[in-house]
Structure 1
């Protein structure tokens, strides 16, 4: 039910932008963008209060604000993995005869116009917060109660990818302006989100289900992809390699060294 509300609620605001021919750089378009972005997180909070008792609600907010759940070791992983993926994709492209690493548009224009970095900062801050309060903050826990961790990650990844679909038809969005619908980049983007979902679950389950850690990870993925440009095939391909390595090393059942999947304090717990 949450997944239907999150996707349907967002599309309720984004589809009118398509129908009216609005752009996200217009005032009305920006409002529709932001409200749509907020739906997964707002719905996630609402479902937490509908489903869990006081312990579950307190657990949710602790996962949002408590940095101790992440720890230094996993903070290093969070910071190094997205950066490493971008750098390795660029180096691989160079070895294959390509141009290699390139700075994003915001970085190259920063010296002339410091405001050019703002889009990268926007995608690194607000969307991850608004999304992850719901995707990992609520939905992943519920899916992991019924499915293996790998299956839960794939289900959430597919829904997460489909949630982005209207953006490919709205001018002013990254998906429309930089990727395009039904292009090779489109299919790589949609499939790549599923691979990202597996990596996100791995870090989530190994950081005591830290929502804060996932928000930082999501933001850092967005930011590094904005400032360091690498070929999509190699970039998303490496995320698939990482996802496969995670499953092979940590197992599809929990993606942790623990035999059981971490879960929130349920009302039926003693």
Structure 2
């Protein structure tokens, strides 16, 4: 059975959301250009990474204009709503698929003789990183998933939504990535990973009864893996990870097509 969409989502202005996210991000990009913090940050993040607040701010502003304060409260509550999921094991999949990809990429790199390096931080830091990245992921996914995904699904379908939202999500990060001194080859692998991850996240969102929490778990897990994967900043690691994620996204897209064909 197809999960029921959020009724309020149908009339939400999509183009204005993406424009507003971009406009709100410009000051953070400017701050990142003015102040290079990558040497001091624990995982080399530029100060422009603080733009993670922009999607939830943009979504809240637009929802408030159409649905008032009650609509904003409903939006924010979706960050902790796990009651929608018909199968709770999907949350384990959301949190676990990226670590599997990251470990597989590390093994492939090692077997190929490429440099992989050591853990960038002790394993004991994972709980702290998880909390920090869950907060950041909630701020982003209340915008990407809580606000934008349902109207995009209504207009374009599952796969097109995953690809289109993934492309914007990736493009939105390009300025911070350049400010973090990543090269074009590494960014190309990262971009492929990002678009593919969004395709998987949209499938998880639907399979959990449109639970934003599933997207938050997947997003936070992605960031924890980025912080903890040995050799994450190396070109070959980025390209291997991107290739693996694209294969996973193709598999998920095929499964989604089969599910839609059975309805």
TM-score tier by shorter-chain length is 0.7 to 0.9
The 1:99–1:13 alpha-carbon spacing in structure 2 relative to 1, beyond 3 Å, is closer
Aligned residue number for residue 89 of structure 1: 105
Q: State the shift of 1:136 in Å.
A: 0.9
For residues 1-270 of structure 1, what are the structure 2 equivalents within 5 Å? 1-18=16-33, 20-23=34-37, 25=40, 33-34=49-50, 36-52=51-67, 60-70=75-85, 71-98=87-114, 103-107=118-122, 120-121=129-130, 124-170=133-179, 176-177=180-181, 180-182=182-184, 184-229=185-230, 231-251=237-257, 259=263
Coordinate RMSD, CA, aligned: 3.2
Q: State the shift of 1:149 in Å.
A: 1.3
Aligned residue number for residue 266 of structure 1: none
Q: Deviations over 1:143-162 (max 9, x none)?
A: 11211211111111111111
Structure 1 unpaired stretches of 5+ = 171-175, 260-270
Work out the CA distance in 2 between the residues paired with 1:151 and 1:6. Answer: 20
Work out the CA distance in 1 between the residues paired with 2:178 and 2:240. Answer: 25
Work out the CA distance in 2 between the residues paired with 1:103 and 1:62. Answer: 39
Q: State the shift of 1:225 in Å.
A: 3.0
The SS at the match of 1:69 is coil
The 1:42–1:186 alpha-carbon spacing in structure 2 relative to 1, beyond 3 Å, is same
The 1:95–1:164 alpha-carbon spacing in structure 2 relative to 1, beyond 3 Å, is same
Q: State the shift of 1:41 in Å.
A: 1.0
Q: Deviations over 1:37-96 (max 9, x none)?
A: 211111112223334589966753453222233442202212331121112222223333
Q: Is the CA contact (8 Å cut-off) linking 1:40 and 1:134 kept in structure 2?
A: yes
Per the normalisation by structure 1, the TM-score is 0.75
The SS at the match of 2:88 is helix
The SS at the match of 1:105 is coil
The SS at the match of 1:106 is coil
